[in-house]
Amino acid sequence: MNHLIYKTGALLMMLSFYGCLLPEGTTRGASGSGDSATSDVATNLETISNGFTPDSLETKASAALSALTKNVGDDPCADAADLYDCQPILLRMYIDMAQQFLDMTKTIVSEIGSGLGSLSDGSSGTETLEGQTVHYSKESASHFSLLLEGTGGSAAYFDVNETVYTLKMDLDKLEEAGDASGKLEIVVTYEGEKSWSIVIFISGMDCDSSDPRAPERIHIRVARTEDFWKGKAMFYNGRWKADNVSCSTSESDALAINFYTDFVANDVAAKASVYLLPRTKSDLSDIEDFGMDRFPINFSTKDKTSNYKNSFCNPTSTLDAVWDNDCSSLDAAVGSADYGPATDWIVPSEFYLETTTLPESLE
């Protein structure tokens, strides 16, 4: 998991750097906030951030995650008995990651919006900044975009379209990224204080020799509707099952595994289901047959996992996973709540090939 956290940090730093680039001749307002509508965009993102996490999944409930925020190299599962015991910690980490990306999105959108704020509506152009070619377009203060050219193609793309905010980045096209690699895509949709969603997709991360089983593709979705939060997390690693695994181990159908997590939560409790899937699987109609309790059956292992039957309930302010429990005894609303749409899953046979494509122009 260290590899994942380090790559997350690298992506955030690159986003922050390019978010500060502004077209020549533009100026910031006295407060640095651009015009009023651009400020509204930032306010929308701030509103999401303020209500991003239900009490049941606050990271302050986790000593492991509290330590992690101080030292990003720490393993969040270090104090857990095993992978199964760590699931409540990982669930909080998914939420925490999503909020970090949301807050960075707010920073980037604010910086770009401020830079374009002095331009009249309908403006567009191309500038050279720090040796990079930047294309920009402003339809209005709540509809603007920017495209950064890198080595061999588009390297970063930012688009604000009223209430949908999109960021894409390709580190392989950025000389400043050094040996870091990977692609990032974030899409935030805002409908109101209690109605929003964020989707994060990370792909193409290079293997870390200190953690060769770390995920190579990550997809996290979090959505809020009134007082319920629902989400899905998908993680893929192509060499996870290998003995004596290293970065030289070739990915294969036999060694690959997908970790999929479904959750629904309110301020009282969180309910989640965890699935372990082969990358060849192209149909998820029987996903319930791939819970952790069936890991030895589906993957021919000697693990004893019969006690980890979906779903598990995680009460507020604890890191306890009560397996084969839907939280009904703790909170009837969570117990009867459905997970998010099954259509939000990406089937494993497609997920391990999934990538992010940046536009070649703003036209």
> Number of folded domains in the chain?
1
Q: What is the pTM of this model?
A: 0.88
For residue 253, is it within any domain? yes
For residue 291, is it within any domain? yes
- Token look-up 């990370």 returns 202
Percent of the chain having pLDDT more than 90?
A: 51
Residue 225 burial (10 A CB sphere; 0-12, 13-18, 19+)? middle
For residue 220, is it within any domain? yes
Q: What range defines the domain where residue 208 resides? A: 2-21+34-122+133-351
Please count the CA atoms within 13 angstroms of the CA of 163 that sit on its side-chain side: 11
Residue 4: the pLDDT is 47
Per-residue pLDDT, averaged over 257-263, amounts to 97
Let me know: does 321 contact 88? Beta carbons within 8 Å: yes
SS3 (DSSP) at 234: strand
For residue 214, is it within any domain? yes
What is the widest separation between alpha-carbon atoms in the chain?
A: 66
For residue 28, is it within any domain? no
Residue 75 burial (10 A CB sphere; 0-12, 13-18, 19+)? middle
Per-residue pLDDT, averaged over 127-150, amounts to 86
Residue 280: the pLDDT is 97
